[in-house]
Chain A
C-alpha cells in the first residue's frame, strides 16, 4: 500500500484504479442509505399493518378506546384506559427505584471503586440482565409478593391516614400482586441496562475535565456534579429511556405479578393490569373485534413509546445546551 502511494503522483487516480472510484462511493452511499431507510420502512410497515388489523376496534370504539375505563369482551366494549394507566404507573415506579440505584452503581464503578473490583462487579450486573423475564416473574409472584404483604400493610398502617399520601398507600391486596410489586421487579430488571449505559457514558467524560475540577479544589462530589453530570446528561437520559422502553414493553413478568384487575386507582398496593400483559394473556382465546382491540393496545403502546422517545430527545437537546453552558 505504501509503495503504491509512492509510485502514483496523484492519490485520487491511484485509489480509483484500485476499484471503483466515484462509482464505488456512490454505490456505498446507496447501500447505507437503503439500510437506514429499511429501519424506517419496517417501523412504518409495523404501524400500518397493526393499525389495519386493529381498525375494527378503533372504528367501533373511536377515541373511547383510550379514554374509557371498561374492558368487557362479552359486550364488545373495549376501553383500554386502565391498561394505559397501569403501564404508565408501573413504569414510573420502576424508574423511581431503578434510576438512582443505577446511576449510583455506575458512578461507584467509574469514579470510586478500586480497579480490581470493577470487572467482577460489571459481570455480576450484566448477569442480572441475562436472567429471563419469566424467572423474574415467577420469583416475584412466588417469593417476593407474599413476603412484601406485611411490609405493605405496615406502610399502609403508618401512612394510610395522611390525606394525599394515604390514597397512594391504600389497603394492600392480600396476594401482594399489585402495581408496587410489579414496579419493584421491573426496577430490578431494568437496572442492568441503565447501569451499563450510564457507566459507558461516565467513561466518556474527559480525564482533563475531572482533573481540572479537582485541581480547582473541588471535592469528589463537586467534581461529579460539576464535571461528570453536565458532560453525560444526554447519555443518561438515553439510558433512562432505554430502561423505560424495556419497562413499558415487559410482558410476561408483569402478566404474572400485576394481579390482572381492570381498574384505575391511586393506590399502588392495588392490583391492576398493563397493556402488554393484557395482550399476551387474552389474545389466545380472542376472535373478531376482541382480537382487533388487543392489537389496538399494541398500536397504542407503540405510539406511546415513539412519543416518549421523541420527547426525550427534545429534552436532551434543550438541556445539553443549558448544562454545557453552565459547566464551561
Chain B
C-alpha cells in the first residue's frame, strides 16, 4: 500500500514534468485560472502552478485521510499555494464557515439553519464517498450477513445474543455461538454515526433511536473515541460489533458483515459497492445526494457522502482562483488517488456536475 502510494507519487511527478514541458512549448493560450469546466486532467494542471497564497479549511474528519493525500499531491503541481485542512468535525467546520474563519469547509451533512452559514452563501461540491462497515469480532464466524432490521435490533439491543433466531434467519447454514453481543458506537459526535443512523432510519422500520451525530444509545452499549477507538473496542471484545469507516476497519483487520441492500442482495463493504451506491442515488439540484440505502443489485447500502462547502462569492480574486483550482484538482486528479486511501471516487456524471458547480463561484 505504501509502496503503491510512493510509486504513484513518482508517476505524478513524471507526468507533471512532462506537462510543464508541454506547457512551455504551447505558450499561454489557456490563461484563465482553472475554472475547471473540462474534465480533462491535463487542461487544468499547467494552471495550478500559477496559484499562490494560502487556503485555510476545516471540517469533517471522515474524508480527512483523502484530503491530506490530495493536499500532499497538490503541492507537487502548485508549489505556490499552501492548503491546510483541519479535521475538526463537520459541525465545527460549518460554524467556522459561517464565521468566515475558513476559505472552504468539509462536511458530511447538509447545512441546517442553525449551523452557521447563511442560506445562499455557500455551494455544495461532492468530493468522494466511502462505505461505513459493520465490523464484528466473533470467533468461528468469518462470514456474516445482516438485513437492516436485524442490524437495527442488534444496535438498539433488542437482540442480545449472537445465536438469536433473527440473526440465524439472515445466515442460513451458519452456526452462531451462544455469546453476548457487545455493541460499540462512537462516543464523540460524528458524521459517521449520523450516516449510519440515517441508513437505519431509511431502511429499517424497527429502528427507534432516530438519527444524529450523537444518539441516545441503550445503557448496555459501549462508546469509544473516533473510528480507530471503535475498531479497537470491537477487537477487544469477543462478540463485539460496531460501525467503523472502511479504511480504519481494513487497517484494524476486522471482518465486515454483508448488508442486505434495497434490491435484497447481501453486499459486503467495498469501494465498488460504494460507487454503485452513488450511481443509484438521486442527485438533487444543489448537488446534495443521499447514497444511503440506494437502489441497485451491487450497491453497498451504508455508503456515506461528503462535501466541500465553497462560498458563492470570494471578495479576493486570488483566493477565488485558489479555491477553484484546489477543488478542481480534487475532482480531477484527486479522484484517482481516492481508492489508495480507501475512498470511492465519484461517478463521471456527478463529477461533471460538481465541476460545473465551481463555475457558479463569483
Contacts and interface: CB of A to CB of B under 8 A. Distances in A.
Interface of A: 70-75, 77, 141-142, 145-146, 173-177, 255-256, 259-263, 265, 270-271, 273, 277, 281-288, 290
Given A73-B214, A75-B210, A286 B91 contact: yes
B188 A175 contact: no
Nearest to A255: B225
B91 A285 contact: yes
A139 B306 CA distance: 34
B182 A260 contact: no
A175 B237 contact: yes
A270 B222 CA distance: 10
Contacts of B222: 173, 175, 177, 259-261, 271
A261 B217 contact: yes
A243 to B, nearest CB: 25
Given A72-B216, A175-B236, A271-B222, A288 B114 contact: yes
B91 A287 contact: yes
B6 interface: no
Contacts of A285: 89-92, 188-191, 194, 213-214
B42 interface: no
Nearest to B221: A261
A284 B91 contact: yes
B241 to A, nearest CB: 12
Nearest to A264: B219
B239 interface: yes
Contact of B114 (A71, A75, A271, A287): A287
Nearest to B185: A260
Contacts of A263: 219-220
A142 B235 CA distance: 11
B224 interface: yes
Q: Which 4 A-B pairs have CB atoms at the shortest separation, nearest pair first?
A: A260-B223, A285-B189, A263-B219, A260-B187
B288 interface: no
B61 to A, nearest CB: 8
Given A74-B211, A175-B233, A177-B224, 7 more contacts: A71-B216, A73-B215, A145-B236, A260-B224, A285-B89, A287-B91, A287-B116
A175 B219 CA distance: 15
Q: Which of A73, A74, A77 has the most CB of B within 10 A?
A: A74
B115 interface: yes
